[in-house]
Structures are given as structure tokens and as C-alpha cells.
Amino acid sequence: MNNGKENSAELLPEPLSRLLTEGIKEGVFPGAAVGIVCGPPGARKQWQGFYGQRQLVPQPLPLTVDTSFDLASLSKPLATTMAIMALMEDGLLSLQSTLPELLGRDVPTDKKSINLRQLLAHCSGLVGHRPYFLHLQDIALASRKEEMLHSILSESLVAAPGKKAIYSDLGFMLLGFIVAEKSGLSLDRFVREKIYQPLSLEENMFFRALEMGWPQGKVVAATEECPWRSRVLQGEVSDDNSHVLGGVAGQAGLFADLAAVLTLTTHLLDCWQDRAVHPAFANDLLKSFFTKDGTVIGSSWALGFDTPSPQGSCAGKYFHPTSVGHLGFSGTSFWIDPSRDLVVVLLSNRIHPSRDNNKIKEFRPRFHDAVIEVLCS
């Protein structure tokens, strides 16, 4: 175990430290970084812990305080959704804007009525996932974005827009294209300049275009031994569809260390509580995105953010229903509970060396319940 102290953070309490150490022994993940913030500024407490290995294959390497992680689908709320908020604040988008307006092109008839709200709330009717990388890998990189967009728009809808909640990577791929269309910048550049730079996070939270390589001197947790890339992935996005787009896409591609994710999510909490303001968007707009969307009855989705499910939530049984958060396939998550002024970030490399390891599904609620029981009871 490597349990560190940084930015006046305390060590994790022993029961939480023991639980994380047990998770490593049980094979939930090779390593994990945990950050917890509780309380308002001036009375705020912070805990951090760093456990296990950032890499097992080809040789073990310890997880350190500066280890970056492939955030996977945390890219959806912490990059793409925030970019959409910034564009809305600038008057370039509205939640009622439809796909033809959003993409600046004609779209198939069945998709003309899909609007921005439905994409953000995962109720556009688009299927959840398609392995586009299998045919895109044989196409020149410069042509892949257009071919990806054509492939998504050619998909048959699996539900009428606005009628069913279906967690959809395809919808967020479209949102990444929409950010580029409306801003005139690539998604990675837009979020770096508009979202991360004002918080001095751009060096430690970033998309990494594959042709740029991994930043010299930065360490990164390894992910899976990829069957089609024939190597252990380290510093390149795990998500296959993001990879064929060069590492930058609306659904995945973001990398960050624990401190950066904790700083951003704590800032969002403070904006939510009107204790801070982000220059790219108003607090009222953020609050509307944090409010559970009512388009589909029973859906847990807000706009780009999830909320705790009534039963079986990965946030456990204690987080307030108004909490927001998200999961990442690679073993990452965050939850923000406004009723407790609480932020919990769990970053792990649970898919190293195999993405077939699903033990984290049972671990996440146990861990979040333990956080509340140990720190908030």
C-alpha cells in the first residue's frame, strides 16, 4: 500500500483503507486512488489514499499520487457535458435544438426530431454501443470522423426519441461532434481552454490525441491487454471507438490524476451551492443539468450526469437522491452529495490486465456505504 498525503489531505480512515486493501487482495482492481471532500470551504476536510499497483503486466509498478487514469465515461460529464453547458451559456445551443441544427446538416427522417436534451439524458432512441472500430480501423484517420458520423446517423433507432432511457455511447459521440461543429474547435482544445484552464487543471486533466504520444514524465495506470491492438494499453484510450478517432471523442478519451478530478468535482459542488462560479457557465445552468430529467419516467439520468437509482445504485444506499455522479468502464467514478457537502472520487484500473473483471460492481456500493458510515454518521 502507498497511502499519501497531499494538499493538506488526511490519510483515509483505517476502515476505508482496509476495505481498499481487501479489494486489491480480492482482485477487484490492481490499484486505486481515492479522494474525499466533506464540508463547506472554511470547515472542509479532505482525505486521500493511494493503493496497490498502477501496472501488473509486464512488471508491477506502484500506484503513486501523480498517477493519471483513463477516466473512460467520466469524459461524458467532466468534458463533453461541460462543453455543451459552455456553448449554451454563449447562446450557441439550446436544449430544444434538433440534430439538423446541432450538426449543421441534414439527417435521416427518423432522427430529425432528436434534440439536445434527449442526447444528454440518454433518451434519444439510439442504441447503446456499436463496434465501429472494426471497420473504421481500415480507413484513413482523416476520414474516420465523417465515416463515424455517417455510421451513427445510419443506425436504426431502438426506441422513439424521448420514450425510453438507453445509456448510449452513440449519443455522446454525436455530442462530441456537436461541440466541434458549434465551437469551431476540436473537443479536446475547447474543454482545455474553456473548462480546465480557468481552474489551472489543463496539465493534469486532458484528452491525449494518440499522435502526440504520452506526456514525458507523467505516469499512467495501465488498462487492458487489448486483443485487437495486441498490447497492454498504457497512455492510450481503452475505448475502441475513441481510439480509432485518434483518442478524442465525446464518450471517452479523458485522462486525469486524482487531484484534478477531485478539484473539478469539488468546484462543481461549490458552484451548485453558490459558493463559486465557473467563467464558462452560470450556476443556474449547472443546477438545471444536475436536476433529474423528467422526459422518461423512472430514468435516473439528469443532463450528462447520473443520479442514484432507488435500488441497487453503485453509490450505495446512503447518498441523497439529489446527488449526481457517473461511472467509467475502466473502474472510475465520482459522486457529489449536496446534502452532505460531500464529494467521493474513486479511480482504479480494474480492467488491467483484462476488461472481463467485473468485481467492482459489488465493491462500489460497499465502498460508498462505508464512506458514509465512517465519515458522515
CATH number at 283 reads 3.40.710.10
109 part of a folded domain: yes
Q: Is residue 322 part of a domain?
A: no
45-55 and 61-62 beta bridge pairing:
antiparallel
Annotate 11-42 with b (16+ C-beta within 10 A) or e (fewer): ebbeebbebbbebbeeebbbbbbbbbbbeeee
Contact 56, 266 (CB under 8 A): no
What is the pLDDT at residue 212? 85
Beta bridge partners of 281: 278
Q: From 104, 100, 170, select the one nearest 131 (Cα to Cα).
A: 170
List alpha helices for 206-311, DSSP H: 240-244, 258-272, 283-290
The pLDDT value given to residue 216: 87
Residue 6 belongs to some domain of the structure: no
- pLDDT beneath 70, residues of the chain: 1-7
Q: What is the four-CA torsion angle of 252, 257, 263, 264, rounded to 10 degrees? A: -10
C-alpha closest to that of 108 among 84, 126, 133: 126
| Residue 33 grid cell | 486512488
Residue 33 lies in a domain: no
Q: Are 371 and 16 in contact (CB under 8 A)?
A: yes
- For residue 2, count CB atoms less than 10 angstroms from its CB and return exposed for 0-12, middle for 13-18, buried for 19 or more: middle
What was the pLDDT predicted at 46?
97
Count CB atoms within 10 A of the CB of residue 289: 24
Give the pLDDT score at 101: 98
| 102 part of a folded domain | yes
Domain encompassing residue 267 = 51-300+332-377
Which cell numbers hold the place of 150? 455517417
Give me the numbers of helices (H) and strands (E) for the chain, helices first please: 13, 12
**What is the count of structural domains for the chain?**
1
Is 315 among the domain residues? no
Q: Percentage of the chain surpassing pLDDT 70? A: 98
Taking a C-beta distance cutoff of 8 angstroms, is the pair 114, 125 a contact?
yes
Domain-embedded: residue 30:
no
* Cα distance between residue 101 and residue 123, in whole Å: 18
Whole-prediction pTM value? 0.97
Check residue 231 and give its pLDDT.
Answer: 94
**Coil, helix or strand at residue 76:** helix
pLDDT score at 145: 97
314: in domain? no
